[in-house]
Amino acid sequence: MTEIIPRRHDKNMPMDELIKLVDESDWDAKAIYAAKLVWGDGIESDPQAGIAILQEAHAAGSVRATAELGFRHVDADGPVPQDLEQAEAYAALAIERGNRFGWLVRLNIAHARQDTNAAFEHGKMFLSQTPPQERNPDIVYEVGGAAHFAGRYAEAIPFYEEAASAGHSAAAINLSLMIQRGQVELPNAEIITLLRSASIVPAGAALFAQRVFYADRHGEEVDPELQIEAVNSLKAIQYQYHSTYEMLGDAYENGFGVEKDPSAATYYYKEGAECEDADPQGPVTSSPGWVNVVYALRLAEGKGCDVNLPAAFDALERAGEIAQESGSIGTLAEAAHHASRLAELADQPDLRKRALPLLEKGAQGGHPEVMLALAKALLRQTGKVGDARPWFVRAIACDDVVSAVDAANCMLAVDCKAEAYAFARVAADMGADLSPDLAGLDPAARDKGLLFMKGKSGQKLYGELKVAIAELVEQFGPPVD
């Protein structure tokens, strides 16, 4: 029967002490040395030699070597081929021999199989056998994360809280995000404590600031002292993280913890816009692209800066690119809507031309105001009713009566009375009060040579329009806010 050799040495012991034990044929020491060989930890890397020694130590009964071989067979990029069945065999033997790290091997196997429920159960078993003084916050966080992503939110709380209390910022951030999303509930004082502990990293500082700046959104009293603390945290750790800059912009715009200063607000929004990314590393306080929208509007309105419409369009185009890449449909629509509005207010053909591609992207998201703006822009730029009509129809299919009235007015403006009649009648069906010009469109006028378009009367176009709208509603369903 193989002698079971327990873990009895600290793997972080000085190298000279470790080598001395290896020379004395201490198999637990040899397992530690072999693992260092695999990774080049303090010595020159020799993965194959390290694996060979681990196999010898395993055969000799080292429980450390058994678990270590399990870890190596889980690793897809390690010195041995990934073999989850073999890893499981090593894990089971390690557990049988009394090595709790076999459960950690099983946690890693579950992650490799994308089984978060199993990962949580195995991680929980590992921690249940781990003495309090040896509980690693990274592992505690990982176990909490497995419960979190398995949808077992309440079970994640104690693990996240433990890791956060040990200084693990990501645990505090994840727990606060679960709270924000309504997945778990904690008293506000505990939430503030969690976020304060997370504020040593940029994402944590941003979330802490968002919570205390907008405490009233959570039914809490605004605390000026906490706002000052949040601003100081942001300033200490703002570097190249757009949400920290956004929160500093909000602070100076609204007087959260500082005196209001429009110029400072614009400066921070500009910094945030420049480093905003479609794939930010970590949680953010607003959807990707939004800081660029905010900065663009300040440039357009001259808030804390000189009016600069071309630069505002640069920011809106960047917002659109970021939002489209990240799938932030709402922000893409906002960027498109503001680009169209600014182009109209400025009455500049070059800006209208720049707004059109953004409108075309934004209209794909199903927002009626953007589809309506695109229809108007196309009608104005091409003069072709056929280019604009589909987008008017799409907007109306979102149950948007404004789009129906605007479509009728636009068609009347280009003297397409038959189309105007059709859209006006749809608007009336939706309960709109029509202007005298629209209300006066009469299908009987066809007899006078009016309300006719390519051989179709306004009455016939109205019927076709109703069918087209019904088909779109059936295809896309009701609009999504």
pLDDT of residue 314: 92
Question: pLDDT at position 481, please?
Answer: 43
pLDDT of residue 73: 92
3-state SS, residue 453: strand
pLDDT in tens, 319-362: 988 988 888 877 888 888 888 888 878 777 777 778 778 777 87
pTM, full prediction = 0.68
Question: How far apart, in Å, are the Cα atoms of 409 and each of 214, 402, 429, 436?
Answer: 42, 11, 16, 11
* Closest of 294, 295, 291, 264 to residue 277, by C-alpha: 291
**384 CB contacts (<8 Å, ≥6 apart)?**
378
- Answer for the pair 354, 344: CB distance below 8 angstroms, yes or no: no
Provide the pLDDT for residue 446. Answer: 44
Question: Which long-range contacts does 234-241 make (Cβ < 8 Å, 24+ apart)?
Answer: 234/205, 234/206, 234/209, 236/205, 237/199, 237/200, 237/201, 237/202, 237/205, 238/202, 238/205, 238/271, 239/202, 240/275, 241/202, 241/203, 241/206, 241/275, 241/280, 241/282
Confidence check: pLDDT of 240 > 80: no
pLDDT tens sequence across 52-90: 999 999 999 999 999 999 999 998 888 888 999 999 999
Specify which of 96-105, 352-361, 371-380, 430-439 reaches the highest per-range mean pLDDT. Answer: 96-105
Mean pLDDT throughout 282-308? 91
Q: What is the pLDDT of residue 385?
A: 85
Percent above pLDDT 70 for the chain: 94
- Residues with Cβ within 8 Å of 95's Cβ and at least 6 positions away in sequence, in order, are 102, 103
Helix and strand numbers, DSSP H then E, in the chain: 25, 2
CB 250 within 8 A of CB 219: no
pLDDT at residue 456 in the model: 65
Q: Is the pLDDT of residue 476 over 70?
A: no
452, containing H or E segment = strand 452-453
Q: What is the DSSP letter of 3?
A: P
Q: What pLDDT, on a 0 to 100 scale, did the predictor assign at position 444?
A: 55
Mean pLDDT of 105-113: 95
Nearest-10 crossing angle of helices 242-254, 224-236? 140
Rounded to whole angstroms, how far apart are CA atoms 90 and 83? 11
pLDDT digits (tens, 9 = 90+) for 421-472: 888 888 888 888 888 888 777 655 544 444 434 456 777 888 888 888 888 8
Of the candidates 401, 323, 400, 406, the residue with the CA atom closest to the CA atom of residue 365: 323
**How would residue 2 be classed by pLDDT, with cut points 50, 70 and 90?**
low
Per-domain residue ranges of the chain: 387-481
Q: List the one residue out of 209, 287, 199 whose CA is nearest residue 250.
A: 209
Which is more confident, 283 or 163? Answer: 163
Instruction: State mean pLDDT over 210-232.
Output: 92
